[in-house]
């Protein structure tokens, strides 16, 4: 079986190389049969990589312990879905997963665009196949997932495997990495179309219309992956946090920031023909940040609970990034006349300027995160000491940036194109602004003294109010005409322009997450060594140890504390934090006990056991649930934005410079 898998990957490598050559030659020499064969080559690569992936998954599920990868990442006592998740739980398998997703994306791109973009498609195939070739190079010659165990060149086997890392044996980790990979890999498609438009000097913005949903779906996957990673950290690692500015966490955030900036900026090119160079830079930067994130996880240059062990593949990623960035930079500079803007910014108080400010702040935050992530590596390279920047450094920098982005979230969409009148400003912002000031004063009068929390919660009210008013005004107008009721009017309003109102829902999700983050300064903590009958206090909660028990399973041993929980004298039931010790890996993990409410979480971790006493860590986290509520709203809003609008809207593009009007029309 392993020989068939290895052969399939080798054939996929050769066919990817053929796809590059045939698509380029076919396009330059105008040979349709070559471009057609390149399209079929992409489909053949998908079939071969899928075959290899299927063989690896089958080996993981059936426990073929002759294979080194299977022996290293599964054992007989693991649940079937964790055996399946072992596909991306290790270095070799995760790179094969990358290749599988990329081949799937490439095949879908070919099948869905081959009729409408005959001129662009050969270049798209060449670019996607080049990326595919790089990862198949790793799969075949550097870190093959089909290596077998051998002693004196004789294939051997082991009785049982080492098993998956216990920290990864949690339901969120079954879906968190695939969502992140779907985001990482997916940005290759809009990148390929953008570069193809540059190479072929394609007129208009057809590549944007083609890849709009590609980009939005990819951004949705990336957003979901980041939030699932936060939830995993909160529920599994036991320290109570959801983000610690870990290098690998940052690696997932960087392309999200770049993709967010691109999604906003590209609307300027669609509607106004502006920021063309900017958009090419943004989509290229986002793609290369995806490659950089993949490299960071695998190179061993940073220490992280998320990262793989040090491996020889780092230098290959560095070479790929260097060649790719240099090629794209040359291409953009060479095509600068082709990317000339069709309009200029007319007013600072306009939607165009809000998009520009939004992009600048997002890129500033992206650079800050990138600098903070790489600083330990750079400090060690250019000095004798490795200096790490902690969460406090990131928070000092990113909190003000985040608050500025939050207020832009409410202000930007309500500015008019070109320039905004005083009357429009008053109509849209008067009452939300007054409400924001009232909220700030009320919070201060109520005893809150954390400035950032006051500012954040006040801004959250402002942005939420502007969004609610937009829905209310539109629904009221529809209701007055159709008399269908207010809720049906909101649904009708949203359906008429899903892109706009889906975007508002995404912004509301961001607002709710900011509410959750605003509670961080009010966290409360208690740590204690307890025995049966002992009592702990954290905040207003009383925790009485009713029992300490232990047990054994084939996969792990467990220790559990049963706690009777009360608050201000009122009984709230029991919680049972548990500590697990996995036998194969000789590693302990925690199953935290959690009481979740909208106002606060009670979070208890069974940290250690010594004799008859247990070490418990208890936390109270105000408002943290709103982070997960906001994430759900953000995902829902993105799904709404993906639904085709009921009403097609057109925007006439005007060139301000020279007062020359163009007839180009952009469909929303």
pLDDT value at position 637?
97
Q: Which residues of 340-375 are buried (b: 16+ CB within 10 A; e: fewer)?
A: ebbbebeeebbbbbbbbbbbebbbbbbebbbebbbe
Q: What is the 3-state secondary structure (H, E, C) of 159-214?
A: CCCCCCCHHHCCHHHHHHHHHHHHHHHHCHHHHHHHHHHHHHCCCCCHHHHHHHHH
The closest of 489, 490, 429, 496 to 465, measured between CA atoms, is 429
∠ at Cα 206 (203, 212), nearest 5°? 150
Average pLDDT over residues 630-635: 97
Q: With 70 as the cut, is the pLDDT of residue 602 above it?
A: yes
Torsion on CA atoms 213, 215, 216, 222, rounded to nearest 10: 140
CB 257 within 8 A of CB 366: yes
pLDDT value at position 309?
53
Burial of 534 (0-12, 13-18, 19+ CB in 10 A): middle
pLDDT value at position 660?
36
- Strand pairing of 150-151 and 593-596? unpaired
pLDDT value at position 306?
52
| Residue 152's pLDDT band (cuts 50, 70, 90) | low
Q: What is the 3-state secondary structure (H, E, C) of 593-614?
A: EEEECCCEEEEEEEEEEECCEE
pLDDT value at position 668?
37
pLDDT value at position 629?
97
The closest of 67, 242, 81 to 173, measured between CA atoms, is 81
Dist. CA 545–CA 529, nearest whole Å: 11
Q: With 50 as the cut, is the pLDDT of residue 124 above it?
A: yes
Tens-place pLDDT, residues 413-454: 887 777 777 787 788 888 999 999 999 999 999 999 999 999
Indicate the range of 149-163, 350-364, 386-400 predicted with least confidence.
149-163
∠ at Cα 332 (331, 337), nearest 5°? 110
Q: With 70 as the cut, is the pLDDT of residue 495 above it?
A: yes
Dist. CA 640–CA 352, nearest whole Å: 24
Q: With 90 as the cut, is the pLDDT of residue 586 above it?
A: no
Other beta carbons less than 10 A from residue 445's beta carbon: 8
CB 23 within 8 A of CB 125: yes
Q: What tokens were used for 49?
A: 């990589």
**Residue count of the chain:** 668
Q: What share of the chain is helix, strand, coil (3-state, %, to 5)?
A: 65, 15, 20
In the chain, the largest separation of any two C-alpha atoms, in whole Å, equals 84
Q: 2 vs 58, 84, 85, 148, 301, CA distance in Å?
A: 11, 17, 19, 8, 31
pLDDT value at position 450?
93
pLDDT value at position 504?
95
Comparing 537 with 652, which gets the higher pLDDT? 537
Dist. CA 568–CA 106, nearest whole Å: 59
Dist. CA 595–CA 579, nearest whole Å: 18
pLDDT value at position 207?
81
pLDDT value at position 2?
87
Domain locations in the chain as residue ranges: 1-169, 178-413, 421-519+625-667, 522-622
Q: What tokens were used for 29?
A: 């020499």
CB 347 within 8 A of CB 419: yes
∠ at Cα 304 (309, 251), nearest 5°? 100
Torsion on CA atoms 308, 309, 315, 320, rounded to nearest 10: -10
Q: Which residues pair with 614 in a beta bridge?
A: 530, 609
The closest of 362, 249, 345 to 296, measured between CA atoms, is 249
Tens-place pLDDT, residues 520-569: 999 999 999 999 999 999 999 999 999 999 999 888 899 999 999 999 88
| Residue 246's pLDDT band (cuts 50, 70, 90) | confident
pLDDT value at position 302?
66
CA 249, distance to chain mean position in Å, is 10
pLDDT value at position 649?
57
CB 63 within 8 A of CB 71: no
Other beta carbons less than 10 A from residue 667's beta carbon: 10
- Strand pairing of 570-575 and 650-655? unpaired
Other beta carbons less than 10 A from residue 47's beta carbon: 14
| Residue 304's pLDDT band (cuts 50, 70, 90) | low
| Residue 663's pLDDT band (cuts 50, 70, 90) | very low
Per mean pLDDT, which of 182-191, 229-238, 407-416 is the most reliable? 182-191
The closest of 267, 179, 279, 192 to 222, measured between CA atoms, is 179
Helix-helix angle 188-200:276-298, to 10 degrees: 140
| Residue 98's pLDDT band (cuts 50, 70, 90) | very high
pLDDT value at position 652?
45
pLDDT value at position 310?
57
Q: With 50 as the cut, is the pLDDT of residue 666 above it?
A: no
Dist. CA 473–CA 33, nearest whole Å: 56
Per mean pLDDT, which of 39-53, 293-307, 352-366, 556-570 is the most reliable? 39-53
Comparing 638 with 586, which gets the higher pLDDT? 638
């Amino acid at each position: 079986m392993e020989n068939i898998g290895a052969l399939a990957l080798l054939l996929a490598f050769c066919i990817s190389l053929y796809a590059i050559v045939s698509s380029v030659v076919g396009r330059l020499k105008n040979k349709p049969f070559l471009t057609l064969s390149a399209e079929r080559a992409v489909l053949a690569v998908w079939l071969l990589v899928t075959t290899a992936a299927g063989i690896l998954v089958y080996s993981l599920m059936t426990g073929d312990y002759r294979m080194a990868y299977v022996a290293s990442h599964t054992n007989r006592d693991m649940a079937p879905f964790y055996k399946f998740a072992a596909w991306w739980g290790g270095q070799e398998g995760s790179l094969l997963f990358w290749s599988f997703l990329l081949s799937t994306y490439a095949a879908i791109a070919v099948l869905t665009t081959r009729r409408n973009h005959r001129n662009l498609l050969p270049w798209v195939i060449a670019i996607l196949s080049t990326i595919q070739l790089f990862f198949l190079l790793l799969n075949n010659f550097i870190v093959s997932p089909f290596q077998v165990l051998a002693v004196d060149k004789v294939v051997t086997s082991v009785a049982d495997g080492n098993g998956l890392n216990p920290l990864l044996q949690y339901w969120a980790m079954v879906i968190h990495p695939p969502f992140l990979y779907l985001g990482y890999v997916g940005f290759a498609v809009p990148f390929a179309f953008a570069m193809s438009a540059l190479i072929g000097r394609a007129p208009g913005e057809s590549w944007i219309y083609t890849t709009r949903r590609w980009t939005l779906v990819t951004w949705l996957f990336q957003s979901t992956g980041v939030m699932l990673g936060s939830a995993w950290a909160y529920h599994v690692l036991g320290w109570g946090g959801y983000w610690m500015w870990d290098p690998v966490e940052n690696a997932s955030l960087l392309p999200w920031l770049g993709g967010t900036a691109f999604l906003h900026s590209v609307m300027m090119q669609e509607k106004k023909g502006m920021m063309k160079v900017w958009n090419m830079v943004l989509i290229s930067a986002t793609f290369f940040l995806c490659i950089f994130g993949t490299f960071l996880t695998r190179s061993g240059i940073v220490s992280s609970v998320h990262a793989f062990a040090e491996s020889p593949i780092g230098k290959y990623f560095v070479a790929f990034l260097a060649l790719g960035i240099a090629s794209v930079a040359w291409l953009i500079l060479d095509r600068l006349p082709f990317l000339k803007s069709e309009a200029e910014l007319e007013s600072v108080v306009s939607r165009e300027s809000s998009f520009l400010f939004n992009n600048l702040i997002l890129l500033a935050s992206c650079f800050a995160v990138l600098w903070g992530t790489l600083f330990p590596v750079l400090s060690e390279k250019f000095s004798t000491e490795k200096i790490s920047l902690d969460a406090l450094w990131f928070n000092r920098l990113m909190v003000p940036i985040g608050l500025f982005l939050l207020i832009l979230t409410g202000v930007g969409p309500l500015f008019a194109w070109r320039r905004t009148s005083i009357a429009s400003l008053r109509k849209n912002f008067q009452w939300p602004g007054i409400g924001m000031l009232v909220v700030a004063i009320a919070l201060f009068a109520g005893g809150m003294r954390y400035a950032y929390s006051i500012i954040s919660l006040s801004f959250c009210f402002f942005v939420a109010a502007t969004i609610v008013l937009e829905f209310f005004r539109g629904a009221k107008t529809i209701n007055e005409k159709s008399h269908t009721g207010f809720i049906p009017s909101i649904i009708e309003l949203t359906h008429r322009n899903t892109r706009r109102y889906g975007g508002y829902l995404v912004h509301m999700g961001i607002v709710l997450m900011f509410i959750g983050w605003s509670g961080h300064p009010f966290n409360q903590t208690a740590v204690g060594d307890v025995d049966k009958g002992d009592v702990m206090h954290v905040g207003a909660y009383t925790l009485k140890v009713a029992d300490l028990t232990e047990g054994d399973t084939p996969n792990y041993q467990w220790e559990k504390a049963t706690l009777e929980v009360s608050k201000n004298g009122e009984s709230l039931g029991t919680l049972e934090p548990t500590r697990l010790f996995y036998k194969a890996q000789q590693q302990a993990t925690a199953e935290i006990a959690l009481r979740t409410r909208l106002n606060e979480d009670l979070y208890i971790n069974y940290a250690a056991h010594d004799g008859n006493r247990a070490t418990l860590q208890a936390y109270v986290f105000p408002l943290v649930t709103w982070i997960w509520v906001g994430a759900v709203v953000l995902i829902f809003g993105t799904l709404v934005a993906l639904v085709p609008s009921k009403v097609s809207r057109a925007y006439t593009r005007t060139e301000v410079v020279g007062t020359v009007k163009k007839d180009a029309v952009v469909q929303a």
